[in-house]
Chain A
């Protein structure tokens, strides 16, 4: 029993020591054994129990002294006796390198051990740095894949692009195909020239149909690039000119994996492009992502295949012969021994020859070359991209700086606690730079851990960005990946960060005169770090700005979702197709649409079916010029523009847009019949003050017979949800030349109907390319894309800022609280109670947060008016939003200071004062 009491006493006294638990227990046991022995001896000498106990306790004259000695003998200095010996020993022979870098390995081990002992601190710093570096590294990874990563082509420096050169922003433009053919035939400085052009194709393979990017290339494309297919072959000599022999494709590596599960027998299989059968002859190597950055092709198709797509095709056959139409890009490989300058002169010379030979098309054309390695997208565009990327990287570099400031705060707080350890090292004679290096190595370990977190975050961001499906006609594929450049970037950042956040605390810690620090608790410590406090205020302020913007955008998003678009988005399914892609004539197109409508009408649940050229609130925008018939302006440029679309009978019923006056379109409104139109209320009021409008006669599109207004329908939102009422003109599809129709089916379950829609089209005609099958809700989500992306992005930045500000406040308050330990002890000894100490410390943090909030509120009020155009239903200086965000930040600031404050309130004044 007595023994246990003694042991408990010893344990209690040793509690403050930072030792591994096993070691502490061992010391505890050994010490209590001595106390027991002394007590037993005293009892044996006949002393009373009380006297014996006093004798036992007298074995340790000063617990404080014991703790101090143990601390010096054990952790962390003695824990590293080998390293310490290294610190004390003379520089190893072997020159400068050995002197400066000898023992780094030991430093590293020491640093790891020291950090393992305070995992909370290590985690806080690594996460703080990781968040900051993550944002920056993610951005770099995007910039790298777009702008910095060179095309993976052999002898890239021998490749040059051939362009038409013009004045203006886009100075380098595509060339005409016949010009390309002539350049190739007359080449001398070029070993060979290839053409390429990215185009959307309707691709059907293994039962899936999708619009994808394809590259339309001359048959020598792979040879010129110097790339061999990973599987199969490239295009043969006769594939590419003769349409009959051009129905062959080379798949991208990704398409091969996704659509054919990477099977070797994909070669020889068939797929359909724009409804035509093509045979797979090869698979491109994995790293070949085409020559147009951002548009990674799924397939490579020989230009000769254009002849297969018929008159309605995306690129008509005659483009191969038409010198007026400039649509293809050209790339050439320099002949052995030929210089860039020779290629430039040759291109210019052929350009002049062509201008003489074909003056009607080529008179003003200039042809020039640029090294492919110097071009990212196009020269003018590149400049903008580089500037924008630089700006974004700089801004996110600020986030890294803020994170470093935070880490500095945490490190300063810790170095206060480590003063003694450092002082012991210095007093034992370790040169200052060795101790400095040790501290920097510790910082580096933390920074590298942070960089690891950052790379992981960048990986997540890349996955998210790649998975992101923008409501665009074709998906962008940036080919984001974490390659060595990204990892090197993060590594470089971590070294800079180490210098940024660890150097200052390390210098400060090693500069202090070791003696006062050795006398534990040496009174008033170092100057309060005003710089750190200022940083925290700035952090709180900037995160308040970010959060305010995020909150406004979020409220605006909620507001936008509540806006009535003027039509029913919830119960309509869409099927987008274009039979003309495969060259069907108008009659065949209309007949197909009629049969399709009939078939869809029979799908269970479908209440009504209609067609339109496009749907409102998608990214598509169509306008036409118009005038009141008989009062057309003579100057064609003076005709006003109006938003318009072409719709079939029943469209207004499907979308639940009320016909207010007059009538809907009817099947009789077709080609040959009198031309008619329907207008919305806003347009009707524009036409006649009463808004009657029926019977008005309009000239549309500067051509053809006038149209007569036969109906007025309710206003809707067409471009954006937040727009003012906008005049709108509906024309009958049957009286338009439009071939690409979108089918709209009204049904209670649009999502569930999508497979039936696709099946219906297959039943009617299994060769028509499908452009898309989706719900109207989905198609119109484009209108929410900006507010949604804004709210998400700023929400993310805001949350990041909040987290950083919270750790910042915590770090600085904890540091100051540690410095004020003695002051607090005295206050408590003089009668201050725990709650007043808590208030003292917490108030300090709260004051910093409040200063930041005040500063941030002013900043936010200056910034948010810039958002006005992006906000629906909420003012840019909405008071409730501002107050809410301020309260959140103050609460976070309070919580972050409450932790160290609570610790201060638990200070034992006796112990603190005894340490004098």
Chain B
């Protein structure tokens, strides 16, 4: 049970990153900022947890990072969703939907 729980947390973060990249290639800072903005500050990802997460996803082949240089700027590392990442995102979304539905039904969140 505890193990599932940890997995789920980890899975949540992974889903968030994958979902953000679905909208386009982004670099690390942008991903962190957008998670903050979209959650209206409820979710915050510091560099300390974000980058290791990105590296993990990259190693698993779900995202793909590459250095991009733009005129007059230092190069930055942009991440892109891979086909495998897209599939994983779909899977995570349906998992989470089922999980949240179940939680909502049990806790009667809708009535609160």
| Residues in chain A within 8 A of chain B (CB atoms) | 3, 26-27, 29-31, 33-38, 59-63, 65-66, 69-70, 72-74, 78, 81, 429
A81-B60 contact in complex given A60-B47, A69-B49, C-beta closer than 8 Å: yes
Contact A59 B47 (CB under 8 A): yes
- Among B49, B52, B53, B77, the residue within 8 A (CB) of A33 is B77
A72-B52 contact in complex given A33-B77, A37-B29, C-beta closer than 8 Å: yes
Q: Which residue of B lies closest to A63 (CB)?
A: B48
Contact A34 B48 (CB under 8 A): no
Report A-chain residues with C-beta under 8 Å of the C-beta of B49.
Answer: 65-66, 69
* A25 smallest CB distance to B (angstroms): 12
Q: Which residue of B lies closest to A429 (CB)?
A: B3
B98 proximal to A (CB < 8 A): no
* B35 smallest CB distance to A (angstroms): 13
Complex interface bits, B24-60 against A, C-beta within 8 A gives 1, otherwise 0? 0001110010000000000000111101110110011
- Complex Cα distance A63/B59, Å? 22
Contact A66 B52 (CB under 8 A): yes
B74 proximal to A (CB < 8 A): yes
Report A-chain residues with C-beta under 8 Å of the C-beta of B60.
Answer: 81
- Complex Cα distance A26/B28, Å? 13
- Complex Cα distance A61/B56, Å? 20
Report A-chain residues with C-beta under 8 Å of the C-beta of B52.
Answer: 66, 69-70, 72-74
Which of B97-111 touch A at CB < 8 Å? none
Contact A73 B56 (CB under 8 A): yes
B93 proximal to A (CB < 8 A): no
* B54 smallest CB distance to A (angstroms): 9
- Among B32, B46, B48, B51, the residue within 8 A (CB) of A27 is B51
Report A-chain residues with C-beta under 8 Å of the C-beta of B8.
Answer: none
Contact B55 A70 (CB under 8 A): yes
Most central of B52, B59, B77 by chain A CB within 10 Å: B52
| Residues in chain B within 8 A of chain A (CB atoms) | 3, 27-29, 32, 46-49, 51-53, 55-56, 59-60, 74, 76-77
Contact A30 B51 (CB under 8 A): yes
Can you sample 28 A-B contacts with CB below 8 Å? Answer: A26-B77, A27-B51, A29-B77, A30-B28, A30-B51, A30-B76, A33-B29, A33-B74, A33-B76, A34-B28, A59-B46, A60-B46, A60-B48, A61-B46, A62-B46, A62-B48, A65-B48, A65-B49, A66-B47, A66-B51, A69-B48, A69-B49, A69-B51, A69-B53, A70-B51, A70-B52, A81-B60, A429-B3
Report B-chain residues with C-beta under 8 Å of the C-beta of A70.
Answer: 51-52, 55
Q: Which residue of A lies closest to B27 (CB)?
A: A33
- Complex Cα distance A27/B55, Å? 9
A78-B48 contact in complex given A33-B74, A34-B28, C-beta closer than 8 Å: no
- Complex Cα distance A27/B65, Å? 12
Q: Which residue of B lies closest to A33 (CB)?
A: B76
Q: Which residue of B lies closest to A61 (CB)?
A: B46
Report B-chain residues with C-beta under 8 Å of the C-beta of A33.
Answer: 27-29, 74, 76-77
Contact A34 B29 (CB under 8 A): yes
* B5 smallest CB distance to A (angstroms): 14
* B58 smallest CB distance to A (angstroms): 9
* A841 smallest CB distance to B (angstroms): 33
- Among A29, A31, A73, A78, the residue within 8 A (CB) of B47 is A31
How many cross-chain pairs have Cβ atoms below 8 Å apart between A and B? Answer: 64
* A703 smallest CB distance to B (angstroms): 98
Most central of B3, B51, B60 by chain A CB within 10 Å: B51
- Complex Cα distance A78/B59, Å? 8
- Complex Cα distance A63/B51, Å? 12
Contact B29 A81 (CB under 8 A): no
* B33 smallest CB distance to A (angstroms): 9
- Complex Cα distance A614/B55, Å? 84
Report A-chain residues with C-beta under 8 Å of the C-beta of B29.
Answer: 33-34, 37-38
- Complex Cα distance A60/B28, Å? 13
- Complex Cα distance A248/B16, Å? 94
* B29 smallest CB distance to A (angstroms): 4
* B11 smallest CB distance to A (angstroms): 15
Given A31-B51, A61-B48, 11 more A-B residue pairs with CB atoms under 8 Å apart are A30-B76, A33-B28, A34-B28, A34-B29, A38-B29, A66-B48, A66-B52, A74-B55, A78-B55, A78-B59, A81-B60
- Among A3, A60, A61, A81, the residue within 8 A (CB) of B59 is A81
Q: Which residue of A lies closest to B28 (CB)?
A: A34
- Complex Cα distance A26/B67, Å? 10
Report A-chain residues with C-beta under 8 Å of the C-beta of B3.
Answer: 429
Report A-chain residues with C-beta under 8 Å of the C-beta of B46.
Answer: 59-62
Report A-chain residues with C-beta under 8 Å of the C-beta of B53.
Answer: 69, 73
Q: Which residue of A lies closest to B44 (CB)?
A: A61
- Complex Cα distance A61/B27, Å? 20
Contact A78 B56 (CB under 8 A): yes
- Complex Cα distance A37/B28, Å? 11
Q: Which residue of A lies closest to B31 (CB)?
A: A34
Q: Which residue of B lies closest to A82 (CB)?
A: B59
- Complex Cα distance A26/B56, Å? 15
Most central of A33, A38, A72 by chain B CB within 10 Å: A33
* B41 smallest CB distance to A (angstroms): 15
- Complex Cα distance A31/B32, Å? 12
Contact A30 B77 (CB under 8 A): yes
Most central of A30, A81, A429 by chain B CB within 10 Å: A30
Q: Which residue of A lies closest to B73 (CB)?
A: A33
* A90 smallest CB distance to B (angstroms): 16
- Complex Cα distance A779/B13, Å? 86
* A26 smallest CB distance to B (angstroms): 8
* A18 smallest CB distance to B (angstroms): 15
Q: Which residue of B lies closest to A72 (CB)?
A: B52
Q: Which residue of B lies closest to A80 (CB)?
A: B59
Q: Which residue of A lies closest to B57 (CB)?
A: A73
Report B-chain residues with C-beta under 8 Å of the C-beta of A3.
Answer: 74
- Complex Cα distance A66/B77, Å? 18
Closest 8 A-B residue pairs measured CB to CB? A69-B52, A66-B48, A73-B52, A34-B29, A61-B46, A73-B55, A59-B47, A37-B29
* A321 smallest CB distance to B (angstroms): 90
* B79 smallest CB distance to A (angstroms): 10
Most central of B27, B47, B56, B59 by chain A CB within 10 Å: B47
* B51 smallest CB distance to A (angstroms): 6
Report B-chain residues with C-beta under 8 Å of the C-beta of A29.
Answer: 77
Report B-chain residues with C-beta under 8 Å of the C-beta of A34.
Answer: 28-29, 32, 47
- Complex Cα distance A429/B74, Å? 41
Q: Which residue of B lies closest to A79 (CB)?
A: B59
- Complex Cα distance A72/B52, Å? 8
- Complex Cα distance A70/B74, Å? 24
- Complex Cα distance A748/B13, Å? 93
- Complex Cα distance A59/B44, Å? 10
Report A-chain residues with C-beta under 8 Å of the C-beta of B48.
Answer: 60-63, 65-66, 69
Report A-chain residues with C-beta under 8 Å of the C-beta of B32.
Answer: 34
- Complex Cα distance A62/B49, Å? 9
- Complex Cα distance A59/B52, Å? 14
Q: Which residue of B lies closest to A34 (CB)?
A: B29
* B106 smallest CB distance to A (angstroms): 28
* B3 smallest CB distance to A (angstroms): 8
* B75 smallest CB distance to A (angstroms): 8
Q: Which residue of A lies closest to B56 (CB)?
A: A73
- Complex Cα distance A65/B60, Å? 22
Q: Which residue of A lies closest to B46 (CB)?
A: A61
- Complex Cα distance A3/B29, Å? 16
* A64 smallest CB distance to B (angstroms): 9
* A68 smallest CB distance to B (angstroms): 9
Report B-chain residues with C-beta under 8 Å of the C-beta of A27.
Answer: 51, 55
* A214 smallest CB distance to B (angstroms): 72
Report B-chain residues with C-beta under 8 Å of the C-beta of A429.
Answer: 3
Report A-chain residues with C-beta under 8 Å of the C-beta of B59.
Answer: 73, 78, 81
Report B-chain residues with C-beta under 8 Å of the C-beta of A35.
Answer: 47
Q: Which residue of B lies closest to A58 (CB)?
A: B46
- Complex Cα distance A38/B36, Å? 14
